[in-house]
Structure 1
């Protein structure tokens, strides 16, 4: 009498998504995320290669040509020329570098100030938390752009002073964001276990608190880069930011506002550059929020 042998085939274990897989899925399923990434890549490319891409780089940096004043868009000057005969396309292209530079620097300085203060306040609590949060509330009591205008008026109008003023106005948002995350993380079992075995606070903060706060900070920083582009352009428009002949988008909009009905292209194309850059960073920020969301399931 023979006996049959049954072979059991083990069930395959569910595969965990890698970061690259999740990124590809987000870009594949969300065309707005792809659009935002494309815009940011374009702006970064213009910022690094603008002087070689611009058709008239010398005019982009401020050289005038009275013979070509206020020319409408054409095959020779795709975006037209301004009241000083400078090619608008060249100035828009070369304006990407100062716009991106000041935005990244401002967000970096704001994060550098706000993240440690927020982490310390949220982890320590008590009177130190109250003190640091009262300081942040003082800064948040004023509209950021208004406070930046006052600071630039005191320091003097320039691109550097505008960046310093915006960084001072921006750091409280990071402090409050990280503080909220730190308050929820300090009661986690792994943090309590680290405290129980005598790990000092200066080791717990970077290893267990700050590391787990980075996801919302990265998303917020991405959106804030676009917001700073708009804020820096607003200061330049008011004469408190970049000064002539710097190819600044906000300054270009201000220079053409008096001829908006007769030479609309002078203000329109720099304004569109600001709009698209802010839109790109906002779309990219939304995509990063989906990318870092652990609740995203495989589709």
Structure 2
């Protein structure tokens, strides 16, 4: 059933994605012909004759079902249609964008692996020396909390503009790849580093480790075996991160003017260019499935016959000691102090004479481009940013846990959802509901459950193979009792810690939608909107952008501290 269920769910997921994208121009309730007319020529009058000509030329009167079927029937012949806006064939542009995105993904993944290896190095060295491994999750979570678009903008200003070391825009030579790869790879490496460190510490906590050490195996051999033991639980997340690097780089591609697949899909969605959007989304979905299948095959190969009977031990709590927890605790105290202080101040008062003013006694964190107090806006913005992120994180945890417990039915859906960046779901939600905090949180929630569901399914599969469950069945325990007393507790805890770790990433996803104009709208003081509004002045007044960015980093440290408890 499992072998048939996964391909069936993947097929259903592809069909659902294609149907959703095919109906996109009609979901908003607006006339697709009017949207296309404005995309082609903003000056032309939307007369009845002009709109009728567009409908007749593109066959819009036939409806979304007929148009989608016509598009699908042309794919076996290598025909993805013609762009509604430019009139050019779709496939050459999609192929070019895919090549660019894959190149950027590979470079960013290389950076992420280096960062993750550096974060896991202390744990591996401790194991190689025979010492108890300590946790280093706070550092990883703080790296994961750096907004890609902020890192991209800061690196562009400092490295490309001020220092003139690298080109700021374009995609003509290998040097154009460095800054975008760093902007994408560092946060991804922070996430991978925390998950890998967590899995490695869990493996080193298993009973075979002291047995091997007592038998005289070298500590380096034990460390290598623990790394191999931890890899199967990490591979599904690695696959999702790889896909996320390809589909979620829309903001970075826009900042650096990179003609990638994400930027192509975003432009097509904004212009209501249905054939281009359909081809881009289908490419992302198929890429997600390919990476998911490859990660699953590698995971099964690593598990092998010898490891299928051993469930991974629950990740241990952070054992880094008071000194290792001092920085997260300090940042948490600073964050709470800044928020409390900012709540006592007015975030809406405009003082044009204090525009972009440096930090002073009147404005401890300076003023933004409109002369508003940055400290006050950070404090009041925490209510929206943290509150929305917590609610979305809780909903994603519950959905991911339920979905992950049925991996044979929903594995394809999880892969499909993760292959779609929040920007595209944000565009769909914005078309239905309009841009705003609710739309952004809903868009992020629609995709945030996928990594948690994959993590749940991976842990469930290993937990089911534990020898003590076979003994429970032999003693007459029912499957229901085994599920509620053994399987669910073994899965719910680690996934809950993973969900808390995702809290800063969820806040950043909402912030990225605000950066692209799909989230909170002025005069809101949501941290993502603050970043978007302050980035044009980052060179003149960096404090306006660094304040919400530092708040997000402190939120990450607080989140990982709570998770380790």
Return the TM-score normalized by structure 2. Answer: 0.40
Structure 2 unpaired stretches of 5+ = 1-315
Among 145, 163, 171, the alignment partner of 2:422 is 145
Q: How far has the Cα of 1:279 moved from its partner?
A: 5.1
Helix, strand or coil at the partner of 1:95: helix
Find the aligned partners of 2:318 and 2:418 in 1 and give their Cα distance: 38
Q: Pairwise mapping of residues 123-202 of structure 1 onto structure 2 (< 5 A)?
A: 129=408, 131-142=409-420, 144-154=421-431, 155-195=433-473, 197=476, 199-201=478-480
1:171-215, CA deviations, whole angstroms, 9 ceiling, x for partnerless residues? 1111111111111222334434555526243x4333211101133
Find the aligned partners of 1:45 and 1:108 in 2 and give their Cα distance: 25
1:277–1:241 distance in 2 versus 1, CA, 3 Å: same
1:13 aligned partner = none
Q: Which moved more, 1:64-73 or 1:215-224?
A: 64-73
Q: Pairwise mapping of residues 199-218 of structure 1 onto structure 2 (< 5 A)?
A: 199-201=478-480, 203-218=481-496
Q: How far has the Cα of 1:225 moved from its partner?
A: 0.9
1:3 aligned partner = none
Find the aligned partners of 1:191 and 1:41 in 2 and give their Cα distance: 44
Find the aligned partners of 1:42 and 1:148 in 2 and give their Cα distance: 34
Find the aligned partners of 1:68 and 1:41 in 2 and give their Cα distance: 29
Find the aligned partners of 2:330 and 2:461 in 1 and give their Cα distance: 37
1:198–1:56 distance in 2 versus 1, CA, 3 Å: closer
Find the aligned partners of 1:276 and 1:24 in 2 and give their Cα distance: 18
Structure having the higher helix fraction is 2
Helix, strand or coil at the partner of 2:362: coil
Find the aligned partners of 1:238 and 1:264 in 2 and give their Cα distance: 20
Among 253, 263, 267, the alignment partner of 2:531 is 253
Q: Pairwise mapping of residues 1-299 of structure 1 onto structure 2 (< 5 A)?
A: 26-28=320-322, 30-31=323-324, 33-43=325-335, 50=340, 53-54=341-342, 57-58=345-346, 60=347, 62-121=348-407, 129=408, 131-142=409-420, 144-154=421-431, 155-195=433-473, 197=476, 199-201=478-480, 203-278=481-556, 280-281=558-559, 284=561, 288=564
Find the aligned partners of 2:423 and 2:364 in 1 and give their Cα distance: 36
1:161–1:137 distance in 2 versus 1, CA, 3 Å: same
Find the aligned partners of 1:100 and 1:55 in 2 and give their Cα distance: 14
Helix, strand or coil at the partner of 1:218: helix
Structure 1 unpaired stretches of 5+ = 1-21, 122-128, 292-299
1:73-119, CA deviations, whole angstroms, 9 ceiling, x for partnerless residues? 21211112223321111111222222211221111111110102212
Find the aligned partners of 2:376 and 2:541 in 1 and give their Cα distance: 17
| Contact 1:118–1:179 under 8 Å retained in 2 | yes
Find the aligned partners of 1:208 and 1:134 in 2 and give their Cα distance: 26
Q: How far has the Cα of 1:23 moved from its partner?
A: 6.5
Q: Which moved more, 1:102-111 or 1:257-266?
A: 257-266
| Contact 1:152–1:240 under 8 Å retained in 2 | no
| Contact 2:331–2:554 under 8 Å retained in 1 | yes
1:19 aligned partner = none
Helix, strand or coil at the partner of 1:71: coil
Helix, strand or coil at the partner of 1:54: helix
Helix, strand or coil at the partner of 1:135: helix
RMSD: 2.8
Q: How far has the Cα of 1:268 moved from its partner?
A: 2.9
Find the aligned partners of 1:147 and 1:233 in 2 and give their Cα distance: 15
Return the TM-score normalized by structure 1. Answer: 0.72
1:277–1:55 distance in 2 versus 1, CA, 3 Å: closer
Q: How far has the Cα of 1:170 moved from its partner?
A: 1.1
1:4-38, CA deviations, whole angstroms, 9 ceiling, x for partnerless residues? xxxxxxxxxxxxxxxxxx9695332x52x331243
Helix, strand or coil at the partner of 1:57: coil
| Contact 2:514–2:528 under 8 Å retained in 1 | yes
